[in-house]
Amino acid sequence: MSHNALELEISRLESINDHLKTEITYIDDLLRLSGFSRGLESLKEVAMEMIEHPEFEEDEL
pLDDT in tens, 19-42: 999 999 999 999 999 999 999 999
Percent of the chain with pLDDT over 90: 84
Report how far residue 57's alpha carbon sits from residue 55's, in angstroms, rounded to the nearest whole number.
6
Residue 60 has pLDDT above 90, yes or no: no
Residue 16 has pLDDT above 80, yes or no: yes
Report phi then psi at 48, rounded to 5: -65, -40
Report how far residue 61's alpha carbon sits from residue 23's, in angstroms, rounded to the nearest whole number.
31
Report phi then psi at 37, rounded to 5: -60, -30
pLDDT of residue 61: 56
Report how far residue 11's alpha carbon sits from residue 9's, in angstroms, rounded to the nearest whole number.
5
Percent of the chain with pLDDT over 70: 90
